Amino acid sequence: MAVPGSGEQPEWGIAIGMRFADIPYKTDIDQVTDVVPLMFLHGEDFYLHGLEAGYHLWQDQPHQATLFTRYRFFDIPKELQNTIQEDSFDLGLRYRYVPRERHFVDTELLSDNNGRSYGHLRYGFDGQWGNLSYQPTVQLDWRSQDFVEYYYGLGDTRADADLGASAGIGLKYHVGSNLYLIGQVQGSVLGSGISELDTLDKRFTLESYAGFAFFPTAEQSANPLRREDFEGHYLRVAHGWATPSNLGEILSFDWEKDPYNNQMTSVFYGYPLTDSLFGFPIDLYATPGVVLHHSSEVQKTSYEGVMAIKAYYTFSWPIRWRFGVAEGLSYINRVTYIERSELEEKGYRPSKLMNYLDFSIDTNLGDLFQSSKWSHLWLGWSIHHRSSMFESSSAFGRIKGGSNYNTLYLQWQF
């Protein structure tokens, strides 16, 4: 989605939609599509805004300096995207000048993991028309010589640095309660020199996104959650065991044991966002986590980082129980055996970045043992799930499959 505007941003949000992009290369396929989940979290300094996350190093109106990372798509035919996984998070630095309220001018410099640099000079503003919020932008796009040679010349052609341009608009329409429709359209033009490369057959490309999202209502934004009146933040410690069974088999309590007994240990922190969704008593949390995958005879130790938004619904029967579900992103430094073996058997190249799901049920130990001392402790079972959304997204390597762990956990609300 569009870059964060200079106006007030929603404290939280979660979305999913379809991305459509023209392929600029000489191929038989002209367009590629992706299912793209998005998360939105905005604090005073840190933010997560769709495909971008950053930290404001300096804010002194009308000036702002931000260190950020943004996801960059490499648009090629989907049949090639598992083998050629060139989508990446690039690191960038942005200076923003706000000439007047809700208007902004950005100067950005970014680099991929190998130091290939590019940048943008952008003007945009945030507008409102009834239930529709909109953000038009225009920008100049600079690409260094090595960036052009690698990503447009595909490493086989010499080329010069390039200066192109883009223009687009981001849209958000409030349907009702917490439901919004979101979209974006952006057109780009390459410079005259780069468009003559033998690898390309398009100088003009179009990219669009359409989906739906959950954001705070106007009332929730005007009256943010009083966290001292909420159940509070939480810390969850879990230990889990891998299973070769799929998600459907686990949910029907018909799973197999991993013959190599691969195990994981995780710690998740929960930050409360709201205690109501669509008028129902649903507690919503931002929940980052770290996961240690233990070494075994078939794998080395690996580490996983997770960022997700989790919803809980609490009910009494006759003591308090909670159902939970989380959606987010998972990145692992070394793909585990249970995941790698399944994907390689299917002929896929594994992906370190995957979609993350968590399904849980827990019970309150204070209620169970009739002790107020234990009222902040919950004991539960959850499924730790990494997958790639059935080959629907280049971000996750166009893979069908993933990994599952059954976990037991203790969660402390404080």
Q: Which amino acid is at 262?
A: N
**pLDDT score for 225:** 67
| Residue ranges, the chain, pLDDT below 70 | 1, 225-231
The pTM of this model reads 0.93
38 near 52, Cβ under 8 Å?
A: no
**pLDDT score for 8:** 84
DSSP-based three-state secondary structure for 183: strand
**pLDDT score for 157:** 83
Give the residue from 286, 260, 264, 254 showing the smallest Cα distance to 273. Answer: 286
Residue with tokens 């958000």: 172
Report the distance separating Cα 304 and Cα 87, nearest Å. Answer: 19
Q: Which own/partner contact pairs does 51-54 have at CB distance under 8 Å and 24+ positions apart?
A: 51/1, 52/3, 52/4, 54/94
Report the distance separating Cα 66 and Cα 56, nearest Å. Answer: 4
Measured in whole angstroms, how far is the alpha carbon of residue 152 from the centre of its chain?
26
% helix / strand / coil in the chain, to the nearest 5? 10, 55, 35
117 near 110, Cβ under 8 Å?
A: yes
Report the distance separating Cα 50 and Cα 71, nearest Å. Answer: 9
Task: For the domain covering 227-413, report its CATH number.
Answer: 2.40.160.20
**pLDDT score for 222:** 73
Place domain 12-218 in its CATH homologous superfamily: Nucleoside-specific channel-forming protein, Tsx-like (2.40.230.20)
Q: What are the Cα distances from residue 408, in Å, to 241, 243, 307, 322?
A: 9, 14, 20, 14
Q: What are the Cα distances from residue 378, in Å, to 311, 313, 314?
A: 15, 14, 12
State both tokens at 179.
């439901």
Mention every residue, 6+ apart, whose C-beta is less than 8 A from residue 124: 2, 3, 5, 103, 104, 106, 135, 136, 137, 138
**pLDDT score for 1:** 63
Q: Which amino acid is at 378?
A: W
**pLDDT score for 239:** 99
DSSP 395: G
258-317: pLDDT as tens digits: 999 999 999 999 999 999 999 999 999 999 999 999 999 999 999 999 999 999 999 999
332 near 302, Cβ under 8 Å?
A: yes
Provide φ and ψ at 221, rounded to 5°: -70, -40
Q: What are the Cα distances from residue 302, in Å, to 265, 333, 336, 355, 401?
A: 11, 6, 7, 18, 19
310 near 272, Cβ under 8 Å?
A: no
Mention every residue, 6+ apart, whose C-beta is less than 8 A from residue 266: 236, 237, 238, 239, 240, 289, 290, 291, 292, 304, 306, 384, 407
- Domain residue ranges of the chain, discontinuous segments joined by +: 12-218, 227-413
**pLDDT score for 394:** 86
Q: What are the Cα distances from residue 311, in Å, to 25, 178, 290?
A: 42, 14, 19
**pLDDT score for 231:** 58
Residue with tokens 């009910």: 315
